[in-house]
Copies of this chain bind each other. A is one copy, B any other.
Amino acid sequence: MYFFSPAERERKELFGGVNARTFWGEHMLLAVVDIPANGVIPPHSHPHEQAGMVVAGELTFTVDGETRTLRAGDVYVIPGGVEHSVVAGDAPAQALDVFSPVREEYKY
């Protein structure tokens, strides 16, 4: 009821080659997101605040025009409504994204 193994969760494709496994409560939705080597999440925004951590690999984030390459253990906080995009490095990468409020379209 409280515990989940991503290995047992179905993957949902978010963008070409980028997939997520999601988990949620009342206030937050967690997404374990896998991005292939050199994968791209194009610029987009949503009203939900998004925060998280890079779990593996390198991800270059651009948030409201500010660009930074983050590595495993680095953290980000993206306010709702702010445009952001992500490009993976030369190896597959994984991030834990958390959205609040819950992104209803990512429940499945």
Listed in ascending order, the chain A residues whose CB lies under 8 Å from chain B are 1-7, 23-28, 30, 32, 49, 51-53, 55, 61, 63-64, 66, 68, 70, 73-80, 96, 98, 100-101
Decide if A4 touches B77 in the complex (CB within 8 Å). yes
Q: How many copies does the complex hold?
A: 2
Alpha-carbon distance A52/B3, docked complex (angstroms): 10
Consensus secondary structure, chain A interface: strand
7 nearest A-B residue pairs (beta carbon): A27-B100, A2-B63, A3-B68, A4-B75, A25-B77, A27-B49, A100-B100
Q: Can you report 24 A-B residue pairs in the complex whose CB atoms are below 8 A from each other?
A: A1-B66, A2-B66, A2-B68, A2-B76, A2-B77, A4-B77, A6-B75, A23-B51, A23-B77, A24-B77, A25-B78, A25-B79, A26-B49, A27-B49, A28-B28, A28-B49, A28-B51, A28-B100, A30-B77, A32-B73, A53-B55, A96-B96, A98-B98, A100-B100
